[in-house]
Structure formats: structure tokens, C-alpha cells
Amino acid sequence: MSTLRNAMTIDVEDYFQVSAMAPYIPRSDWARIRCRAEDNVMRILAMLDEQGVKATFFTLGWIAERHPGLVRAIVAGGHELASHGYGHERASDMSPTAFSDDVRRAKALLEDIGGVAVQGYRAPSFSIGTDNLWAFDVLLEAGYRYSSSVYPIAHDHYGMPDSPRFAYPVRPGLIEVPVTTNRFGQRNVPSSGGGYFRLLPYSLSRWLIQRVNQRDQQSAVFYFHPWEVDPEQPRVKGIDAKTRFRHYVNLGRTEGRIRRLLSDFSWGRMDQIFLPA
């Protein structure tokens, strides 16, 4: 395997906050649903500690506000605390003013609870694209130093396939660090986690990351969610077949695959890999 250090990232949100569940679970119901994120994050922290891996946790302000102990545990473990916005609203669905309020509120809340500077942001559902590039200006003004909000693929929910595949400056003082893809012909192929990691054979996922390290000589950015290591989560009723497949496929195998991934590659925090000292 390559000796390059890759970035391990976790998007801290609960199963009922996933964008694909929005048509079935009203935001007004969130406060009445038992949150499973805290227990799942604690399991992930223990798994990372066993492997001696430090990671970046892109954390929702909504979760942090209700579970401050989770935030403090992330920081106490030596991991990077970063922002996933406050209420898991897509950046592409918000006005510049609403987006600014959201990312500033989340940053202030996380910093107050965690006692550390929050430098990174990841938009829910990778929702910065060609139609809302103004979001980078807002992030810079709010004090963020990097974003990981663009997925350079074609997808039915998100994506900007013509954007750079690796870290690049989007504004003076702000860089974008896309999640990892591989280039085959004229197309970028997802290679960095989420449903693709659960669906594809582990050997293929490992090969795709290794290819980026060796062929492109670049650090990979991998991501997953706490609900993906929780096969016992409640099943949401009435969802369409595509959402059911995407959300529940191979949940029981994910933790074991992540453990293998932690052993097969070198991992670290986003800020320590991509930001200048």
C-alpha cells in the first residue's frame, strides 16, 4: 500500500436527517425521534482509537446542541471538529443570507462546546455546485479555511463533474477539498465512501483508493456516516424502493469494512493533511 496519508471523515448526522428521507420524515418531527448518533459516534471513536487513527468529524449543529458530550469526546480524542452546518439543509436550497446564518450558527456553537477553532465545512449532500458558487464567499467571510462540499461526479442529487478532482483554492484563504474520485476515460467514478462503499466489493473500494495514492500521487478523502454502522436502526416506513436500497444496503457489513480500511491505509485529519501549518 501507499505510504501517503489519507483523510478519514465522518459526517455526524442521524438516520432521520438524511436528505433522501426528507419527503418521509418532516423536520418538525426530529425532536420527537430518539437520536442514535451519540451512541454510534462513541462506537466509531472507540474503533478509531483501537487503530490509532485521527479523523475529522463534520458535525451538525443540531446534533451538537443536543449532545454536547459527543462534541467534547471528539475533541478529547484528538480528532478534528468541523462543521456540517446547523440543520442539514442543502446549501443549494438556501438564500445567501440563510446560508450565512446557518454556517455561522453552527461554527459558533461547535467552537463554544468544543473549545477549539472550527476551520472546515462540508455542505449537506455535497450541495455546492455551479448554481451557488457564492457559498464559497460566505464560508470565507464566516471564518472557514477549507470546504469539502463539492463531489466532482454526475449524480441525481448533487455533483459538479467538471470541477477539479483534488484540493484547489476557490478563494484567497479558502480551499475546496473534494471527496475522492477516479478518472476513467471522460468520467469520474466515486471512490470515497457512502453508499458506493457499502454496495461495491471491499476489494474494489480498496483498489480505487490505492489507485489514487499510487497513480495520482494524491491523498484520498473518505467519508461515512454514524448511521452506516448501525444496522439496528429503525426502518422508515413508506419510502420508495430506490431510497430503501441506497440507505439500507449492506449496513451490517459496513463496520467490518471500515475496520479493514483503517488497517489497509494510513489515515489522518483533514486540517493536518490539507491546510498549511
**pLDDT (0 to 100) of residue 252:** 96
The residue whose grid cell reads 480500511 is: 261
pLDDT in tens, the chain (277 residues): 567 999 999 999 999 999 999 999 999 999 999 999 999 999 999 999 999 999 999 999 999 999 999 999 999 999 999 999 999 999 999 999 999 999 999 999 999 999 999 999 999 999 999 999 999 999 999 999 999 999 998 766 666 888 999 999 999 999 999 999 999 998 999 999 988 899 999 999 999 999 999 999 999 999 999 999 999 999 999 999 999 999 999 999 999 999 999 999 999 999 999 998 7
Closest CA to 5 of 239, 276, 265, 256: 265
pLDDT score at 206: 97
Q: pLDDT value at position 216?
A: 96
For the chain, the domain total comes to: 1
Q: Which domain holds residue 226?
A: 5-274
We report the CATH number of the domain holding residue 146 as 3.20.20.370
pLDDT value for 153: 83
Q: Using one digit for the tens of pLDDT, what is the confidence trace for 192-227?
A: 998 889 999 999 999 999 999 999 999 999 999 999
* Cell matching residue 147: 470546504
The amino acid that residue 56 corresponds to is T
How many angstroms separate the Cα of 8 from the Cα of each of 20, 223, 271?
Answer: 23, 6, 11
DSSP H stretches of helix in the chain: 37-51, 61-66, 68-76, 96-114, 134-142, 194-199, 202-215, 241-248, 251-264, 270-274
The answer for residues whose C-beta is within 8 angstroms of residue 26's C-beta and 6 or more apart is: none
Q: Are strands 5-12 and 168-171 parallel, antiparallel or unpaired?
A: unpaired
In contact, 191 and 212? CB cutoff 8 Å: yes
